[in-house]
Amino acid sequence: MKVLITGANGQLGGALQRTAPAHADLNAIDVDDVDFTEDAMLRARLVVESPDVLINAAAYTAVDKAESDEQTARAINADAVAIMAEEMEAQGGKLVHVSTDFVFDGTSSRAYRPDDPRNPISAYGRTKAAGEDHLRDTDLLVRTAWVYEAGGANFVRTMIRLMNERDELGVVSDQIGSPTWATGLANTIWSLIDKSASGTFHHSDDGAISWFDFAVAIAEEGHELGLIAKVPNIKPITTADYPTPAKRPAFSLLDCSATRELLGDQPVPWRTNLRRMLEQEQALG
């Protein structure tokens, strides 16, 4: 099985490479290899690579910046996906595309199911939803949320840095979801591919928490592992206390039951995977 991964240098791209099965003939590319905003360049590279499976882990993820640069976000999150879908159609290959909880508006009273209506409230969410619309019925869409990985640029590592610099910090407590360890997400994607899955699936770690809850756990686990010298005072604040250019969904928990049922595995509690990631972070020094 010839597999091409886009977004090679990102958190998920790296995790996909590390967890790839032995039967995958793997290649991975990033912006250093091809400009995803240049349609002709991207199309030519896909023709050269000619993969059986294309895993698109590339994305414009600067949520706030997208509010003033939606054109670039759309080029990467939607227009490039259209090119990928067209080329996989022409080559007889499968597109596996990774999307986000930001395609939902956060007003649900229960976890979002894969077939729930989308209603993005930010430029980033709009462009990701537009990207989803280019997929064929035979392609695979995997939505996820709050992704983090050892060594990456993410909330966990930002919190560790801030907690070592400050005696006090405020963290938003009225946005609810669930974190996702990129390694676990990568394993799920490979398993879905092995099952020849198509359609829409959700993956995140198990449990519903706020960013404040996540920060408290990072402080506790990080301090125990020696990553944080002294636990600071962590205060819950509201979204209104921390205004950002882009609106975030207040509730973006993903219902992953269909994914777990198909794969026959058990959901992993978010704190278990946080501990695993922090142990890797500790090993990185």
Residue 103's pLDDT band (cuts 50, 70, 90): very high
- The DSSP letter of residue 239 is G
Q: How many CB atoms lie within 10 A of CB 254?
A: 25
Q: How far is CA 137 from CA 96, 107, 259, in A?
A: 11, 28, 17
Distance from CA of residue 96 to its chain's centroid?
13
Residue ranges per domain, the chain?
2-152+179-205+253-269
pLDDT over 70, % of the chain: 100
Beta strands in the chain (DSSP E): 2-6, 25-29, 53-56, 94-100, 140-144, 147-148, 168-172, 176-177, 180-181, 199-202, 209-210, 233-237
CA dihedral for 256, 214, 10, 281, sign (positive or negative): negative
Which pLDDT belongs to residue 285? 81
Q: Tokens 């490979």 sit at which residue?
A: 190
pTM higher than 0.95: yes
- On whether the CB atoms of residues 281 and 150 are closer than 8 A, the answer is yes
124 is catalytic: yes
Render pLDDT for 165-181 as a digit per residue (tens, 0 to 9): 999 999 999 999 999 99
Given 60, 112, 124, 148, which residue is catalytic?
124
pLDDT over 90, % of the chain: 100
Q: What class, spelled out in words, does domain 2-152+179-205+253-269 have in CATH? A: alpha beta
**What is the DSSP code string of 30-90?**
-TTT--TT-HHHHHHHHHHH--SEEEE------TTGGGT-HHHHHIIIIIHHHHHHHHHHH
Average model confidence (pLDDT) across the chain: 97
Dist CA 284 CA 268 (whole Å): 23
Strand duo 176-177 + 209-210: pairing: antiparallel
204-229 mean pLDDT:
98
Render pLDDT for 46-73 as a digit per residue (tens, 0 to 9): 999 999 999 999 999 999 999 999 999 9
148-175 mean pLDDT:
97
184-195 mean pLDDT:
98
Render pLDDT for 245-274 as a digit per residue (tens, 0 to 9): 999 999 999 999 999 999 999 999 999 999
Instruction: Using the predicted structure, report yes or no on whether residue 13 has a pLDDT greater than 90.
Output: yes
Instruction: Using the predicted structure, report yes or no on whether residue 95 has a pLDDT greater than 90.
Output: yes
Which pLDDT belongs to residue 209? 98
- The DSSP letter of residue 110 is S
At 21, list the tokens.
């099965």
Give the number of C-alpha atoms closer than 13 A to the C-alpha of residue 28, restricted to the C-beta side: 16
